[in-house]
Amino acid sequence: MTGASIAKYSEVDEVLAQWALVTRPRYYSIVFDMKIHNPNDFDLDPKTLRSLARGDMDPVRRAVEEHRSNTLPAAKESQPAAKSPAKTPAAPPSDPRANKDIAKAKSNGVAPPAQSAKKAEQKKADAAESEEDRKRRYRETVAQRNQLTQILRECEALEVMNYDVLAIKHYPQTIDLISARRRRDLWLLSCLLSFAVFLIGWQGGLNAWIAGIAFGFFVALSALAIPPLRRLFIKNAGYGELVRQRKELEFRAITHIRMLEGSNGLAYQCLMMSTYRKSLLDRRYRRLVTLSQQGQLIKAMRTVAAIRLYLQYLLEAQQAFEITKNKYMEASAKIKTEFADLALAEA
Protein backbone atom coordinates (compact mmCIF):
# COMPACT_ATOMS: atom_id res chain seq x y z
CA MET A 1 0.00 0.00 0.00
CA THR A 2 1.34 3.39 -1.07
CA GLY A 3 1.71 6.51 1.02
CA ALA A 4 -1.04 8.34 -0.97
CA SER A 5 -3.58 5.66 -0.16
CA ILE A 6 -2.58 5.76 3.48
CA ALA A 7 -3.05 9.53 3.61
CA LYS A 8 -6.39 9.19 1.83
CA TYR A 9 -7.62 6.71 4.34
CA SER A 10 -6.37 8.85 7.19
CA GLU A 11 -8.42 11.80 5.96
CA VAL A 12 -11.48 9.51 5.72
CA ASP A 13 -10.88 8.41 9.28
CA GLU A 14 -10.69 11.96 10.51
CA VAL A 15 -13.94 12.89 8.76
CA LEU A 16 -15.70 9.84 10.18
CA ALA A 17 -14.39 10.59 13.69
CA GLN A 18 -15.62 14.18 13.53
CA TRP A 19 -18.99 13.04 12.29
CA ALA A 20 -19.16 10.50 15.10
CA LEU A 21 -18.41 13.22 17.68
CA VAL A 22 -21.21 15.33 16.26
CA THR A 23 -23.80 12.54 16.08
CA ARG A 24 -22.97 10.78 19.39
CA PRO A 25 -24.81 13.21 21.70
CA ARG A 26 -27.80 13.11 19.43
CA TYR A 27 -27.71 9.30 19.47
CA TYR A 28 -27.49 9.23 23.25
CA SER A 29 -30.37 11.65 23.53
CA ILE A 30 -32.43 9.48 21.21
CA VAL A 31 -31.60 6.39 23.26
CA PHE A 32 -32.40 8.02 26.56
CA ASP A 33 -35.50 9.66 25.12
CA MET A 34 -36.62 6.26 23.96
CA LYS A 35 -35.92 4.96 27.42
CA ILE A 36 -37.87 7.76 29.04
CA HIS A 37 -40.66 8.15 26.52
CA ASN A 38 -40.91 4.60 25.25
CA PRO A 39 -44.47 3.45 25.95
CA ASN A 40 -43.27 -0.16 26.23
CA ASP A 41 -40.87 0.95 29.07
CA PHE A 42 -37.94 -1.38 28.28
CA ASP A 43 -35.78 -2.01 31.32
CA LEU A 44 -32.05 -1.95 30.46
CA ASP A 45 -29.73 -3.82 32.71
CA PRO A 46 -26.72 -2.06 34.30
CA LYS A 47 -24.25 -3.77 31.93
CA THR A 48 -26.04 -2.36 28.87
CA LEU A 49 -26.14 1.10 30.42
CA ARG A 50 -22.39 0.99 31.09
CA SER A 51 -21.77 -0.10 27.49
CA LEU A 52 -23.86 2.85 26.25
CA ALA A 53 -21.93 5.22 28.52
CA ARG A 54 -18.57 3.99 27.20
CA GLY A 55 -19.82 4.19 23.59
CA ASP A 56 -19.37 0.52 22.87
CA MET A 57 -22.80 0.36 21.25
CA ASP A 58 -22.27 3.35 18.90
CA PRO A 59 -22.85 2.06 15.30
CA VAL A 60 -20.58 4.69 13.80
CA ARG A 61 -17.72 3.76 16.06
CA ARG A 62 -18.31 0.10 15.33
CA ALA A 63 -18.19 0.77 11.60
CA VAL A 64 -14.94 2.76 11.98
CA GLU A 65 -13.33 0.00 14.02
CA GLU A 66 -14.42 -2.67 11.52
CA HIS A 67 -13.01 -0.57 8.68
CA ARG A 68 -9.71 -0.15 10.48
CA SER A 69 -9.49 -3.81 11.31
CA ASN A 70 -10.13 -4.77 7.69
CA THR A 71 -8.04 -2.17 5.87
CA LEU A 72 -5.38 -1.03 8.35
CA PRO A 73 -4.02 -4.03 10.23
CA ALA A 74 -0.61 -2.37 10.71
CA ALA A 75 -2.14 0.77 12.20
CA LYS A 76 -4.22 -1.41 14.51
CA GLU A 77 -1.07 -3.14 15.73
CA SER A 78 0.76 0.19 16.20
CA GLN A 79 -1.96 1.58 18.50
CA PRO A 80 -1.31 1.02 22.19
CA ALA A 81 -3.48 -1.58 23.80
CA ALA A 82 -6.22 -0.26 26.00
CA LYS A 83 -5.82 -0.85 29.64
CA SER A 84 -7.93 -3.71 30.75
CA PRO A 85 -9.29 -3.87 34.23
CA ALA A 86 -7.40 -5.88 36.78
CA LYS A 87 -8.26 -9.50 36.62
CA THR A 88 -9.38 -11.14 39.79
CA PRO A 89 -7.74 -14.44 40.63
CA ALA A 90 -9.78 -17.28 39.36
CA ALA A 91 -11.30 -19.62 41.88
CA PRO A 92 -9.79 -23.06 42.03
CA PRO A 93 -11.72 -25.57 40.02
CA SER A 94 -14.10 -27.57 42.11
CA ASP A 95 -15.22 -31.08 41.69
CA PRO A 96 -18.58 -31.00 39.91
CA ARG A 97 -19.61 -34.27 41.56
CA ALA A 98 -18.99 -32.84 45.03
CA ASN A 99 -20.91 -29.70 44.15
CA LYS A 100 -23.70 -31.83 42.79
CA ASP A 101 -23.82 -33.93 46.00
CA ILE A 102 -23.88 -30.82 48.20
CA ALA A 103 -26.62 -29.23 46.09
CA LYS A 104 -28.62 -32.46 46.22
CA ALA A 105 -28.19 -32.68 50.00
CA LYS A 106 -29.30 -29.07 50.42
CA SER A 107 -32.31 -29.62 48.18
CA ASN A 108 -33.32 -32.70 50.20
CA GLY A 109 -32.92 -30.82 53.50
CA VAL A 110 -29.88 -32.88 54.54
CA ALA A 111 -26.82 -31.10 55.94
CA PRO A 112 -23.36 -31.65 54.42
CA PRO A 113 -21.16 -34.33 56.02
CA ALA A 114 -19.19 -31.81 58.12
CA GLN A 115 -22.32 -30.16 59.47
CA SER A 116 -24.04 -33.49 60.07
CA ALA A 117 -20.98 -34.73 61.99
CA LYS A 118 -20.97 -31.58 64.11
CA LYS A 119 -24.67 -31.95 64.82
CA ALA A 120 -24.18 -35.61 65.66
CA GLU A 121 -21.43 -34.72 68.14
CA GLN A 122 -23.65 -32.07 69.73
CA LYS A 123 -26.53 -34.51 69.99
CA LYS A 124 -24.21 -37.05 71.54
CA ALA A 125 -22.99 -34.50 74.10
CA ASP A 126 -26.56 -33.48 74.88
CA ALA A 127 -27.56 -37.11 75.26
CA ALA A 128 -24.61 -37.73 77.61
CA GLU A 129 -25.51 -34.64 79.61
CA SER A 130 -29.15 -35.65 79.80
CA GLU A 131 -28.10 -39.13 80.91
CA GLU A 132 -25.95 -37.66 83.67
CA ASP A 133 -28.83 -35.43 84.72
CA ARG A 134 -31.15 -38.43 84.74
CA LYS A 135 -28.74 -40.41 86.94
CA ARG A 136 -28.44 -37.45 89.28
CA ARG A 137 -32.22 -37.19 89.58
CA TYR A 138 -32.37 -40.95 90.20
CA ARG A 139 -29.86 -40.69 93.04
CA GLU A 140 -31.78 -37.78 94.56
CA THR A 141 -35.04 -39.73 94.35
CA VAL A 142 -33.46 -42.79 95.97
CA ALA A 143 -31.99 -40.65 98.77
CA GLN A 144 -35.38 -39.02 99.32
CA ARG A 145 -37.09 -42.40 99.46
CA ASN A 146 -34.56 -43.71 101.98
CA GLN A 147 -35.06 -40.66 104.17
CA LEU A 148 -38.83 -41.07 104.00
CA THR A 149 -38.46 -44.76 104.84
CA GLN A 150 -36.51 -43.89 107.98
CA ILE A 151 -39.14 -41.32 109.02
CA LEU A 152 -41.96 -43.81 108.50
CA ARG A 153 -40.10 -46.46 110.48
CA GLU A 154 -39.40 -44.15 113.43
CA CYS A 155 -42.92 -42.64 113.49
CA GLU A 156 -44.85 -45.82 112.78
CA ALA A 157 -46.32 -45.75 116.31
CA LEU A 158 -48.58 -42.89 115.22
CA GLU A 159 -50.79 -45.39 113.42
CA VAL A 160 -51.64 -47.22 116.68
CA MET A 161 -52.36 -44.07 118.70
CA ASN A 162 -55.62 -44.35 120.64
CA TYR A 163 -57.37 -41.02 120.57
CA ASP A 164 -59.97 -41.87 123.23
CA VAL A 165 -57.35 -42.94 125.74
CA LEU A 166 -55.30 -39.77 125.35
CA ALA A 167 -58.30 -37.47 125.07
CA ILE A 168 -59.73 -38.74 128.42
CA LYS A 169 -63.24 -37.78 127.40
CA HIS A 170 -64.93 -39.00 130.61
CA TYR A 171 -62.40 -37.44 132.90
CA PRO A 172 -64.27 -35.96 135.94
CA GLN A 173 -64.35 -32.22 136.00
CA THR A 174 -63.15 -30.20 138.95
CA ILE A 175 -66.61 -28.79 139.65
CA ASP A 176 -68.01 -32.30 139.92
CA LEU A 177 -65.23 -33.26 142.26
CA ILE A 178 -65.92 -30.23 144.53
CA SER A 179 -69.65 -31.02 144.61
CA ALA A 180 -68.97 -34.63 145.48
CA ARG A 181 -66.61 -33.58 148.28
CA ARG A 182 -69.24 -31.24 149.71
CA ARG A 183 -71.84 -34.00 149.68
CA ARG A 184 -69.40 -36.32 151.36
CA ASP A 185 -68.66 -33.81 154.09
CA LEU A 186 -72.37 -33.25 154.74
CA TRP A 187 -72.96 -36.99 154.89
CA LEU A 188 -70.15 -37.46 157.40
CA LEU A 189 -71.44 -34.59 159.50
CA SER A 190 -74.96 -36.05 159.50
CA CYS A 191 -73.64 -39.44 160.54
CA LEU A 192 -71.67 -37.92 163.42
CA LEU A 193 -74.59 -35.80 164.66
CA SER A 194 -77.03 -38.71 164.61
CA PHE A 195 -74.57 -40.96 166.41
CA ALA A 196 -73.88 -38.23 169.02
CA VAL A 197 -77.62 -37.81 169.70
CA PHE A 198 -77.93 -41.57 170.06
CA LEU A 199 -75.12 -41.66 172.60
CA ILE A 200 -76.56 -38.78 174.60
CA GLY A 201 -79.97 -40.47 174.69
CA TRP A 202 -78.37 -43.79 175.57
CA GLN A 203 -76.72 -42.12 178.56
CA GLY A 204 -80.12 -40.80 179.63
CA GLY A 205 -79.65 -37.21 178.67
CA LEU A 206 -82.50 -37.35 176.15
CA ASN A 207 -85.74 -39.22 175.76
CA ALA A 208 -85.54 -42.76 174.53
CA TRP A 209 -87.59 -42.17 171.41
CA ILE A 210 -85.23 -39.30 170.37
CA ALA A 211 -82.26 -41.57 170.88
CA GLY A 212 -84.01 -44.25 168.80
CA ILE A 213 -84.76 -41.88 165.95
CA ALA A 214 -81.15 -40.66 165.98
CA PHE A 215 -79.93 -44.24 165.85
CA GLY A 216 -82.20 -44.95 162.90
CA PHE A 217 -80.81 -41.95 161.02
CA PHE A 218 -77.31 -43.12 161.78
CA VAL A 219 -77.98 -46.60 160.40
CA ALA A 220 -79.66 -45.22 157.25
CA LEU A 221 -76.86 -42.79 156.57
CA SER A 222 -74.26 -45.44 157.16
CA ALA A 223 -75.96 -47.66 154.59
CA LEU A 224 -75.36 -45.01 151.94
CA ALA A 225 -71.64 -45.77 152.17
CA ILE A 226 -72.31 -48.93 150.13
CA PRO A 227 -72.12 -47.86 146.40
CA PRO A 228 -74.85 -50.18 144.99
CA LEU A 229 -77.22 -49.13 147.70
CA ARG A 230 -76.33 -45.47 147.33
CA ARG A 231 -77.04 -45.59 143.58
CA LEU A 232 -80.63 -46.52 144.35
CA PHE A 233 -81.18 -43.13 145.93
CA ILE A 234 -78.43 -40.87 144.56
CA LYS A 235 -77.52 -40.85 140.88
CA ASN A 236 -74.37 -38.76 141.22
CA ALA A 237 -71.07 -40.51 141.74
CA GLY A 238 -69.36 -40.15 145.07
CA TYR A 239 -66.16 -38.34 145.75
CA GLY A 240 -64.19 -41.54 146.14
CA GLU A 241 -65.50 -42.92 142.85
CA LEU A 242 -64.57 -39.74 141.01
CA VAL A 243 -61.06 -39.77 142.42
CA ARG A 244 -60.64 -43.43 141.54
CA GLN A 245 -61.98 -42.81 138.01
CA ARG A 246 -59.50 -39.99 137.55
CA LYS A 247 -56.58 -42.14 138.59
CA GLU A 248 -57.62 -44.97 136.29
CA LEU A 249 -57.92 -42.70 133.25
CA GLU A 250 -54.60 -41.02 133.97
CA PHE A 251 -52.91 -44.38 134.44
CA ARG A 252 -54.26 -45.68 131.10
CA ALA A 253 -53.15 -42.52 129.28
CA ILE A 254 -49.66 -42.56 130.77
CA THR A 255 -49.28 -46.26 130.00
CA HIS A 256 -50.28 -45.58 126.38
CA ILE A 257 -47.82 -42.68 126.15
CA ARG A 258 -45.05 -44.92 127.47
CA MET A 259 -45.86 -47.47 124.79
CA LEU A 260 -45.89 -44.81 122.04
CA GLU A 261 -42.67 -43.14 123.10
CA GLY A 262 -40.65 -46.33 123.23
CA SER A 263 -36.90 -46.01 123.59
CA ASN A 264 -36.28 -43.40 120.87
CA GLY A 265 -38.92 -40.87 121.87
CA LEU A 266 -41.81 -40.58 119.43
CA ALA A 267 -42.32 -36.86 119.98
CA TYR A 268 -38.67 -36.19 119.20
CA GLN A 269 -38.67 -38.42 116.11
CA CYS A 270 -41.77 -36.68 114.75
CA LEU A 271 -39.72 -33.51 114.59
CA MET A 272 -38.19 -34.89 111.35
CA MET A 273 -41.55 -34.26 109.64
CA SER A 274 -41.50 -30.54 110.44
CA THR A 275 -40.75 -29.91 106.74
CA TYR A 276 -44.28 -31.02 105.89
CA ARG A 277 -45.93 -29.55 109.03
CA LYS A 278 -44.48 -26.31 110.36
CA SER A 279 -46.74 -26.39 113.43
CA LEU A 280 -44.57 -29.15 114.91
CA LEU A 281 -42.00 -26.42 115.60
CA ASP A 282 -44.48 -24.41 117.64
CA ARG A 283 -43.15 -22.90 120.85
CA ARG A 284 -45.66 -24.69 123.09
CA TYR A 285 -44.28 -28.07 121.99
CA ARG A 286 -40.60 -27.29 122.59
CA ARG A 287 -40.42 -28.48 126.21
CA LEU A 288 -42.40 -31.60 125.32
CA VAL A 289 -39.97 -32.46 122.51
CA THR A 290 -36.96 -31.77 124.72
CA LEU A 291 -38.27 -34.08 127.47
CA SER A 292 -38.99 -36.76 124.86
CA GLN A 293 -35.42 -36.50 123.58
CA GLN A 294 -34.08 -36.84 127.13
CA GLY A 295 -36.43 -39.71 128.02
CA GLN A 296 -38.07 -37.75 130.87
CA LEU A 297 -41.48 -37.23 129.27
CA ILE A 298 -43.38 -39.77 131.38
CA LYS A 299 -42.35 -38.08 134.61
CA ALA A 300 -43.73 -34.77 133.33
CA MET A 301 -47.18 -36.24 132.63
CA ARG A 302 -48.70 -35.35 136.00
CA THR A 303 -51.79 -33.48 134.85
CA VAL A 304 -54.50 -34.02 132.30
CA ALA A 305 -53.46 -30.75 130.60
CA ALA A 306 -50.02 -32.21 129.85
CA ILE A 307 -51.59 -35.38 128.43
CA ARG A 308 -53.91 -33.42 126.17
CA LEU A 309 -51.03 -31.23 124.98
CA TYR A 310 -49.18 -34.40 124.01
CA LEU A 311 -52.31 -35.53 122.15
CA GLN A 312 -52.45 -32.27 120.19
CA TYR A 313 -48.82 -32.71 119.17
CA LEU A 314 -49.47 -36.25 117.97
CA LEU A 315 -52.48 -35.10 115.94
CA GLU A 316 -50.26 -32.58 114.17
CA ALA A 317 -47.69 -35.31 113.64
CA GLN A 318 -50.34 -37.64 112.17
CA GLN A 319 -51.17 -35.13 109.47
CA ALA A 320 -47.48 -34.79 108.63
CA PHE A 321 -47.24 -38.61 108.66
CA GLU A 322 -49.95 -38.87 105.98
CA ILE A 323 -48.08 -36.40 103.79
CA THR A 324 -44.87 -38.37 104.32
CA LYS A 325 -46.56 -41.60 103.26
CA ASN A 326 -47.84 -39.96 100.08
CA LYS A 327 -44.37 -38.63 99.30
CA TYR A 328 -42.90 -42.10 99.84
CA MET A 329 -45.42 -43.69 97.49
CA GLU A 330 -44.73 -41.04 94.83
CA ALA A 331 -40.96 -41.59 95.09
CA SER A 332 -41.34 -45.38 94.88
CA ALA A 333 -43.66 -45.13 91.86
CA LYS A 334 -41.26 -42.72 90.16
CA ILE A 335 -38.36 -45.13 90.63
CA LYS A 336 -40.39 -48.04 89.27
CA THR A 337 -41.64 -46.18 86.18
CA GLU A 338 -39.15 -43.48 85.22
CA PHE A 339 -35.92 -45.06 86.52
CA ALA A 340 -36.77 -48.73 86.13
CA ASP A 341 -33.65 -49.46 84.04
CA LEU A 342 -31.30 -47.76 86.52
CA ALA A 343 -32.91 -49.54 89.48
CA LEU A 344 -32.60 -52.88 87.67
CA ALA A 345 -28.95 -52.18 86.86
CA GLU A 346 -28.15 -51.40 90.50
CA ALA A 347 -30.01 -54.45 91.69
CA–CA dist 260, 155 (Å, integer): 9
The 10s digit of each residue's pLDDT in 179-227 is: 989 988 899 999 999 999 888 888 887 888 888 888 888 888 888 888 7
The 10s digit of each residue's pLDDT in 146-180 is: 999 999 999 999 999 999 999 998 888 889 899 98
Residue 302 pLDDT: 86
- Tell me the helix, strand and coil percentages in the chain, rounded to 5: 80, 0, 20
> Range with the lowest mean pLDDT among 25-39, 46-60, 262-276, 303-317?
25-39
Residue 237 pLDDT: 79
Give Cα separations from 252 to 267, 300, 301, 341 (angstroms). 19, 15, 12, 52
Does pLDDT of 239 surpass 50? yes
Mean residue pLDDT of the chain comes to 76
pLDDT tier at 135 (50, 70, 90 boundaries)? confident
CA–CA dist 69, 65 (Å, integer): 6
60 or 83, greater pLDDT: 60
288 or 78, greater pLDDT: 288
The 10s digit of each residue's pLDDT in 71-81 is: 654 444 444 44
Residue 157 pLDDT: 92
Give Cα 242 to chain centroid, integer Å: 56
Burial of 239 (0-12, 13-18, 19+ CB in 10 A): buried
